[in-house]
């Protein structure tokens, strides 16, 4: 291939998971690639080659001037007609791979990912070239090809993308050995990479790096004033504790991977299907998947149990959509419905190379006949069954494996488990650098002091035998610097990292044990899988949420309807402003079948209303593409749209049961009386028409048109003098205000003559090859007119409990919520309204353009308009809605900044029809350009890339499986638990950890700065003021509990107050508790306390304090007294900063001092007695009986802390922060009168809602539409009255 086509193809196979590095192969020339492949097939002119860039993480890419790219996934496929089949899907399927310039070009990525975009933490996934050759006859088996040796690849080395095509032999497994296995790994570590990866992560923490340096210089003889193991042993303990935690967390990932890889599938072996683990399934295998099973690898569908090779799959794990997708096998293979027939397949399958495009596929099946004549069968996305999808409502399917393991489209959309580091950790690293510079300055200053003595005063200090030569003095200077570094090294507390790890682990355990986040129906508690990120839960500014399964329950319910101007619901409601209330469904049954119990007045029901009600129910039972299936005596409905299934189920509840479909008719039971309606024509739903119609012949022989769709398109096609229009529109406004999914329903009688004329036009349109869909739409327009409005339906896409309240509360907390969903635009807007993401007062900015130029122009115009409006002082809430196609353009480098600027001006953002990779790209865009903490929440495999791209990932362990929960940092079972997770646990964790870190720095600086002040009095000799093991006990025993208790149990306000006043969450977003200013104030306070403590005791002991016995007190007497005064001061500071006192606080703060006063005399007696340490010999009787000792302990800490107490009083009284006021509200239990105001505000919002919904209805209908499948032809393939005649597949 030419260089241009190689480059254009290289953009396709953009990969996402470095875990897929198992087998890499070098591309080889393929003899099956036709000669015209060697021509330049690039879709770009030479001057417009695509710009391969990384706009998120490459700061130098501004030098590249690249044109906008196009996205073939959104363009229409070139039609291709097969002589062997008249099915419509073959007319529009892709040409054989590598032949011609298909509009589904391989030159660009097809999932909405801009040209050349790659994740910063992604390595290239493996791709494989095709095998060299295959036999031309099934009877000839060539020698098995040699396996290529695996090439060594450095971790930073990138693989070249493969061009050409993949060739797979059918029923000839030895020829397919070169492809990767179906083994999948999502773990963070493996045996080989654990040590380098773990050590890299640990030593990226500067504290660990500093202590490693200290431990090294301690090994130099004659330099260290302390024992050579006092640093390296604690550091090893810290690393071992961290390693244990990492191993435990990653073992859980390995365990879930093992469970997934050990799932059993069925693969063809000879003439029978045998059970085989998923990891053992290979490329080229023919596998059998049964109903409700997950698909183990990417398959090409060859046959199924359904007529004409049809099957239904649910792709909620891939794109979040719950409506079932219809797939159809090629007519050339759909008859292979037994293992013996499937084993006769011979030939080869030409396939595109692995890529991350979920919605496209190009391939060709070349089958060999009995006379070895190849038959070409084109393959497209209609035959592609993706790993992670689930087979629904279809007993079984056969498929050929084309992509396995990390080459499947699902895994190509995944990203590697990243190493996440919190903002607080990064700040701690910066503070440690500051302290290290400060420590160096102290060391150099002390060394200069020592040098002055050595150079200028050595004559007066001749008895010290100091070096006199220049070389000796220079050597002493270097050694002194190292000595003082070791002496002052605990200015940076070595216990800080361990304490932080322990506290974070305990905070995660508190999250796990919270009963408010326990979901009893599924017995699922919250699970914090990554404890290292708990404090970031208190600093979130953006939440990126999936819709399906996260905000909603994946359940549709027929909730209300308007029939002949009367409103009905499953539960009656009181009357509104017009005095008319909602009636119950029981009253509707009375209208339909008469009222034997006299609940409905017959006088109030006219014949016209009763007739309209019967037509309404008939329409719901007849006008659809649902297929009934009886299982366990209960009818289940196969529907490609959940809305349709809900409407048919609603009709069944009201006595109109649809139970049988034949190729030309449907059978319904009206109040247990069977009735047959002949289906003449179906005018399909699409997003342009926004309606669906069915032409039927009734049992009486008359022809009727039944139509359902959005009110905007139905109302304009009604006949004049409609009796129910106004009342129905009022009901629609009410339904839309409640966030229900609405449809209008209408019908008309069609004269026989008119129908015959129209049927001729319709058949001509159906026979059109090019522009068939447009021709059918024009034909439908001719008959969809002069209709009679029967009423409207309202379906509830059930939200999870508490979703609207949670979203509203999070928005009040200053958190911006973006919804990223694979659903259609109308559906997403509808859910946005029902869950209060979009409020009544917001104006919608809808971006739905066809190309990059129009998208850019629209964004720029809206930006200018909003800026001009806001410059005048007029502010209005905006909500941005953008579809996947426009988002693909908006994420390109030229538009990304403008798009982000527009999105940040909006209070809510909804992205529709987005691929998993686009979700991650949106998160990465905000992550790079905003200094904000991001959280992503989802429940399916399609959300994993987004969850891993955000700072914090939250998984919902819900209906769609556990893929997201396994990859997330925190797993919860309901979206509503996010409120407590962030506003309470997050806020507490951030405040606790901030206080712990600052206090840890404070207590160490206070003690070790007294060592520095002492240097001025000991000739800068490096003499320590305290006994060496007593210093070690300071961090390990005497002050270890206060920071732990503060970090685990402290609460600056209660959970109730945090829930009542979500605005307090802004303290974490603004990083109020852990600023650089706060850090240096604590450092300054520590210097002040150390100076007061040292100065007071030195003045008291000036000339050495004489005891009553007449003896001098001595160095260790003074040192022990100063040490205990420092200890009492730092414990008093802990008491001052503690907001909540529990029994653990009492045990930690007063308890630590009491323990010290008991332990230290015991140590001072025992240590000298056993020869362990002799400094304290004879100290106890002298020190603990001296009145001056107790005077110092009482007076000096009070003097030190009086300034802190006065400042605390002044600040709380005269310049209080918001949480100070909240603490007063909590202490005095002041009531909150805001609920009365909210009732008044709700009344105002109701008026605004009605006004707004007149402009924007709650219409939604998630019917599958792809332009390739003829719904009418598909449903005519079914005869459910002969279900026992289906093949068993065995």
Tokens at 848, concatenated: 């739905």
In angstroms, the CA 963 to CA 945 distance is 11
In angstroms, the CA 937 to CA 978 distance is 9
In angstroms, the CA 210 to CA 205 distance is 9
Buried/exposed code over 488-515 (b: 16+ C-beta within 10 A; e: otherwise): bbbbbbbbbbbbbbbbbbbbbebbbebe
The H-assigned helical ranges of 346-422 are 409-412
Among residues 493, 497, 134, which one has the least CA distance to residue 284?
134
In angstroms, the CA 118 to CA 109 distance is 11
Strands (E) across 896-943 are located at: 908-912, 933-938
| CA atoms within 13 A of residue 769's CA, in its CB half-sphere | 9
In angstroms, the CA 846 to CA 868 distance is 19
Among residues 680, 773, 704, 23, which one has the least CA distance to residue 405?
23
What separation in angstroms does the CA of 833 have from each of 134, 320, 828, 903, 977? 57, 19, 9, 18, 20
Tokens at 1161, concatenated: 């005399």
Among residues 247, 249, 280, 245, which one has the least CA distance to residue 262?
280
Buried/exposed code over 843-864 (b: 16+ C-beta within 10 A; e: otherwise): ebbbbebeebeebbebbeebbe
Strand order in the sheet with 286-290: 272-277, 264-269, 286-290, 396-403, 298-304, 384-385
Are the C-beta atoms of 893 and 61 separated by less than 8 Å? Answer: yes
What separation in angstroms does the CA of 597 have from each of 38, 587, 601, 1024? 81, 10, 10, 99
**Is 514 designated active site?**
no
Buried/exposed code over 1134-1153 (b: 16+ C-beta within 10 A; e: otherwise): beebbeeeeebbeebbebbb
Instruction: Provide the terminal-to-terminal Cα distance of the chain, rounded to the nearest Å.
Output: 45
Q: Is 625 strand, coil or helix?
A: coil
Residues sharing a CB contact under 8 Å with residue 1063, sequence separation 6 or more, in sequence order: 812, 813, 814, 1218
Strand order in the sheet with 310-314: 325-328, 310-314, 390-392
Are the C-beta atoms of 944 and 963 separated by less than 8 Å? Answer: yes
Strands (E) across 925-1015 are located at: 933-938, 952-956, 970-972
- 374 CB burial (10 A radius; 0-12, 13-18, 19+): middle
Residues sharing a CB contact under 8 Å with residue 941, sequence separation 6 or more, in sequence order: 317, 318, 388, 410, 414, 916, 960, 961, 963, 964
201 φ/ψ sector (left φ>0, alpha ψ -120 to 50, else beta): alpha
277: how many CB neighbours lie within 10 A of its CB?
15
Among residues 258, 207, 192, 172, which one has the least CA distance to residue 21?
192
In angstroms, the CA 346 to CA 23 distance is 27
Catalytic residue among 14, 546, 711, 823: 546
In angstroms, the CA 682 to CA 694 distance is 5
In angstroms, the CA 69 to CA 114 distance is 7
Catalytic residue positions, numbered: 546
């Amino acid at each position: 291939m030419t260089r241009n086509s190689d480059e254009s193809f290289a953009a396709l196979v953009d990969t996402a998971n470095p875990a897929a590095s198992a087998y890499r192969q070098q591309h080889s020339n393929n003899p099956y690639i036709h000669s015209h492949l060697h021509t330049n097939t690039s879709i770009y002119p030479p001057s417009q080659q695509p710009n391969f860039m990384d706009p998120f993480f490459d700061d130098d890419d501004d030098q590249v001037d690249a044109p906008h790219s196009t996205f073939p996934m959104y363009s229409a496929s070139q039609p291709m007609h097969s002589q062997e089949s008249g099915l419509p899907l073959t007319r529009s399927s892709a040409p054989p791979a590598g032949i011609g310039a298909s509009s589904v070009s391989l030159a660009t990525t097809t999932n909405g990912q801009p040209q050349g975009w790659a994740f910063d933490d992604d390595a290239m996934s493996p791709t494989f070239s095709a095998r060299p050759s295959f036999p031309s006859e099934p009877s000839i088996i060539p020698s098995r090809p040699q396996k290529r040796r695996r090439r060594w690849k450095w971790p930073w080395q990138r693989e070249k993308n493969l061009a050409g095509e993949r060739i797979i032999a059918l029923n000839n497994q030895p020829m397919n050995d070169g492809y990767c296995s179906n083994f999948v790994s999502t773990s963070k570590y493996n045996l080989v990479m654990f040590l380098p990866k773990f050590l890299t992560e640990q030593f990226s923490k500067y504290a660990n790096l500093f202590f490693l340096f200290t431990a090294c210089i301690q090994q130099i003889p004659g330099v260290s004033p302390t024992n050579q193991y006092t640093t390296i042993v604690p550091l090893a303990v810290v690393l071992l504790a961290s390693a244990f935690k990492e191993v435990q967390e990653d073992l859980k990932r390995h365990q879930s991977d093992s469970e997934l890889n050990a799932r059993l599938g069925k693969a063809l072996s000879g003439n029978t299907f045998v059970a085989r683990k998923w990891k053992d399934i290979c490329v080229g295998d023919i596998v059998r998947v049964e109903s409700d099973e997950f698909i183990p690898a990417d398959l090409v569908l060859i046959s199924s149990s359904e007529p004409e090779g049809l099957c239904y799959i649910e792709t909620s794990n891939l794109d979040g959509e719950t409506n079932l997708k219809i797939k159809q096998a090629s007519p050339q293979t759909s008859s292979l419905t037994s293992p013996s027939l499937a084993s006769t397949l011979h030939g080869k399958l030409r396939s595109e190379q692995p890529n991350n495009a979920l919605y496209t596929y190009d391939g060709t099946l070349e089958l060999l006949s009995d006379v070895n004549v190849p038959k070409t069968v084109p393959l497209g996305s209609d035959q592609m069954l993706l790993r992670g999808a689930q087979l629904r409502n279809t007993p079984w399917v056969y498929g050929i494996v084309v992509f396995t393991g990390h080459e499947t489209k699902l895994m190509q959309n995944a990203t590697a488990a990243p190493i996440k580091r919190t903002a607080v950790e990064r700040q701690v690293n910066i503070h440690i650098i500051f302290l290290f510079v400060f420590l160096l300055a102290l060391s150099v200053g002390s060394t200069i002091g020592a040098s002055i003595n050595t150079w200028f005063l050595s004559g007066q200090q001749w008895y010290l035998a100091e070096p006199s030569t220049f070389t000796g003095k220079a050597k002493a200077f270097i050694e002194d610097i190292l000595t003082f570094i070791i002496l002052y090294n605990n200015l940076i507390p070595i216990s800080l990292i361990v304490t932080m790890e322990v506290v974070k682990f305990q905070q995660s355990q508190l999250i796990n044990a919270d009963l408010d986040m326990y979901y009893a129906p599924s017995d699922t508690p919250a699970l914090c899988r990554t404890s290292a990120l708990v404090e970031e839960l208190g600093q979130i500014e953006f939440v990126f949420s999936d819709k399906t399964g996260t905000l909603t329950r994946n359940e549709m319910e027929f909730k209300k309807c308007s029939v002949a101007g009367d409103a009905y619901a499953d539960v009656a409601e009181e009357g509104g402003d017009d005095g008319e209330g909602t009636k119950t469904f029981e009253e509707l049954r009375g209208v339909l079948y008469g009222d034997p119990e006299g609940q409905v007045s017959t006088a109030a029901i006219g014949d016209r209303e009763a007739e309209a009600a019967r037509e309404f129910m008939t329409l719901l039972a007849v006008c659809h593409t649902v297929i009934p299936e009886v299982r366990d005596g209960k009818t289940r409905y196969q529907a490609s749209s959940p809305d349709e299934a809900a409407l048919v189920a609603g009709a069944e509840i009201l006595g109109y049961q649809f139970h049988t479909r034949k190729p030309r008719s449907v059978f319904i039971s009206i109040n247990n009386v069977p009735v047959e309606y002949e289906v003449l024509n179906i005018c399909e739903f699409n997003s342009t028409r926004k309606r669906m119609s069915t032409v039927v012949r009734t049992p009486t022989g008359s022809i009727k048109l039944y139509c359902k769709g959005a009110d905007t398109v139905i109302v304009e096609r009604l006949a004049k003098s409609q009796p129910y229009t106004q009342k129905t529109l009022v009901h629609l406004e009410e339904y839309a205000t409640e966030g229900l999914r609405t449809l209008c329903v209408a019908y008309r009688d069609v004269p026989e003559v008119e129908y015959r004329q129209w049927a001729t036009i319709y058949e001509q349109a159906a026979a059109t090859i090019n522009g068939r869909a447009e021709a059918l739409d024009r034909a439908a327009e001719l008959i969809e007119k002069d209709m009679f409005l029967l009423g409207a339906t309202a379906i509830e896409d059930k939200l999870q409990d508490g979703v609207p309240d949670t979203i509203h509360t999070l928005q009040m907390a200053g958190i911006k919520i973006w919804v990223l969903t694979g659903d259609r635009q109308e559906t997403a807007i509808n859910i946005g309204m029902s869950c209060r993401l979009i409020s009544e007062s917001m104006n919608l900015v809808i971006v739905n353009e066809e190309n990059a130029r129009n998208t850019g122009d629209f964004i720029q115009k809206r930006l200018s308009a909003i800026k001009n409006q806001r410059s005048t002082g007029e502010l209005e809430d905006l909500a941005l809605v953008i579809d996947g196609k426009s988002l693909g353009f908006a994420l390109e480098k030229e538009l990304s900044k403008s798009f982000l600027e527009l999105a940040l001006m909006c209070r809510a953002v909804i992205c529709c029809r987005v691929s998993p990779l686009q979700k991650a790209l949106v998160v990465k865009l905000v992550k790079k350009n905003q200094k904000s903490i991001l959280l992503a929440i989802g429940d399916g495999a399609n959300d994993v890339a987004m969850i891993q791209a955000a700072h914090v990932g939250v998984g919902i362990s819900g209906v769609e499986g556990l893929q997201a929960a396994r990859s997330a940092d925190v797993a919860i079972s309901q979206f509503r638990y996010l409120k407590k997770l962030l506003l309470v646990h997050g806020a507490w964790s951030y405040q606790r950890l901030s206080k712990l870190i600052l206090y840890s720095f404070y207590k160490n600086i206070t003690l070790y700065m007294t060592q520095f002040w002492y240097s001025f009095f000991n000739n800068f000799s490096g003499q320590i003021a305290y006994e060496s093991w007593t210093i070690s006990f300071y961090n390990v025993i005497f002050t270890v509990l206060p920071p732990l208790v503060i970090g685990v149990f402290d609460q600056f306000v209660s959970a109730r107050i945090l829930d009542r006043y979500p605005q307090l969450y802004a303290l974490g977003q603004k990083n109020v508790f852990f600023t650089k200013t706060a850090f240096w104030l604590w450092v300054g306070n520590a210097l002040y306390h150390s100076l007061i403590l040292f100065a007071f005791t030195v003045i008291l002991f000036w000339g050495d304090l004489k005891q009553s016995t007449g003896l001098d007190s001595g160095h260790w007497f003074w040192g022990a007294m100063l040490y205990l005064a420092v200890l009492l001061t730092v414990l008093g500071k802990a008491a001052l900063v503690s907001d909540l006192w529990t029994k653990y606080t009492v045990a930690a703060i007063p308890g630590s001092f009491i323990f010290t006063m008991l332990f230290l005399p015991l140590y001072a007696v025992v240590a000298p007695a056993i020869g362990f340490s002799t400094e304290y010999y004879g100290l106890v009787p002298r020190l603990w009986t001296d009145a001056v000792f107790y005077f110092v302990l009482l007076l000096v800490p009070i003097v030190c802390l009086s300034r802190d107490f006065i400042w605390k009083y002044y600040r709380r009284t005269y310049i209080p922060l918001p949480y100070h006021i909240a603490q007063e509200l909590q202490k005095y239990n002041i009531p909150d009168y805001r609920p009365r105001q909210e009732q008044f505000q709700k009344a105002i919002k109701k008026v605004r809602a009605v006004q707004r919904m007149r402009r924007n209805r709650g219409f939604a209908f998630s019917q599958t539409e792809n332009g390739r499948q003829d719904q009418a032809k598909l449903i005519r393939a079914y005869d459910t009255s002969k279900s026992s005649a289906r093949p068993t597949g065995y």
